């Protein structure tokens, strides 16, 4: 309970900081993302939110997810040509993609975290993030 309140406040502060209004829709979208594990698409979030806000528009969910990316509360997930998906986990981690069912699984690995940028792309390039993407078949599909 305390944790919930703290997060709500963190979100509150982040919005304030950026001059964004704290609307119920925006908060609901953030919370739906925050506790999701499935790296949802815009439509998946929209379907979930609709249960609480039957009158919310798809566009609001769409814009809000982009906004949440802009302020760094969620991240777009790298994908292979299907729908865009989002990740509430903004910390350093890596992804496994199932090539069959398109499931995306987070994993943590210190070796991967410690990778340094190769010197070849260093000069002129400003590096913002590095991550390892593993593809294969998940236990359900293999």
Partner DNA sequence: TTACAAATAAGAATTATTACTATATAGTTT
Partner DNA sequence: AAACTATATAGTAATAATTCTTATTTGTAA
Task: Please give the residue ranges that form the binding site for DNA (CB under 7 A).
Answer: 15-16, 19-26, 41-43, 53, 55-60, 62-64, 66-67, 81-84
Nearer of residues 32 and 104 to a copy of itself, judged by Cβ: 104
Rounded to whole angstroms, the Cα distance separating 5 from 134 reads 36
Nearest Cα residue to 94 out of 137, 135, 35, 126:
135
Geometric angle at alpha carbon 19, from 59 and 77, rounded to 5°: 50
- Minimum CB separation from a copy of itself for residue 22, in Å? 26
The sign one gets for the Cα dihedral 47, 51, 56, 62 is: negative
User: Residue 75 corresponds to which tokens in the numbers above?
Assistant: 């991240």
> Which one of DNA, a copy of itself, none is in contact with 105 (Cβ closer than 5 to 8 A by kind)?
a copy of itself
**3, two tokens:** 């944790």
Choice between 60 and 95, CB closer to DNA: 60
Minimum distance from CB of 48 to a copy of itself (Å)?
A: 19
Residue 80's binding partner among DNA, a copy of itself, none (Cβ under 5 to 8 angstroms by kind) is a copy of itself
> Residue 91 binds which entry of a copy of itself, DNA, none, with Cβ cut-offs from 5 to 8 Å by kind?
none
Pairwise CA distance, residues 10 & 4, whole Å: 10
For the CA atoms of the chain, what is the radius of gyration?
17
Q: Which residues of the shown chain bind a copy of itself in the complex (CB under 8 A)?
A: 76-81, 84-85, 96, 99, 105, 107-109, 111-112, 115, 117-118, 120-121, 124-139, 142
Of a copy of itself, DNA, none, which one does residue 40 interact with (CB within 5 to 8 Å by kind)?
none
On whether the CB atoms of residues 112 and 93 are closer than 8 A, the answer is no
């Amino acid at each position: 309970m305390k944790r919930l309140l703290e997060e709500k406040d963190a979100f509150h502060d982040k919005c304030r900081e950026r001059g964004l209004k704290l609307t119920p829709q925006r908060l609901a979208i953030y919370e739906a993302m925050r506790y999701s594990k499935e790296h949802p698409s815009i439509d998946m979030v929209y379907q979930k939110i609709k249960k609480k806000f039957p009158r919310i528009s798809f566009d609001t969910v769409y814009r809000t997810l982009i906004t949440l990316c802009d302020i760094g509360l969620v991240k777009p997930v790298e994908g292979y040509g299907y729908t865009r998906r989002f990740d509430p986990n903004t910390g350093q981690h890596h992804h496994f993609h199932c090539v069959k069912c398109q499931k995306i699984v987070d994993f943590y690995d210190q070796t991967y975290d410690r990778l340094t940028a190769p010197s070849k792309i260093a000069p002129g390039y400003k590096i913002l993030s590095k991550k390892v993407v593993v593809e294969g078949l998940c236990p359900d599909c293999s």
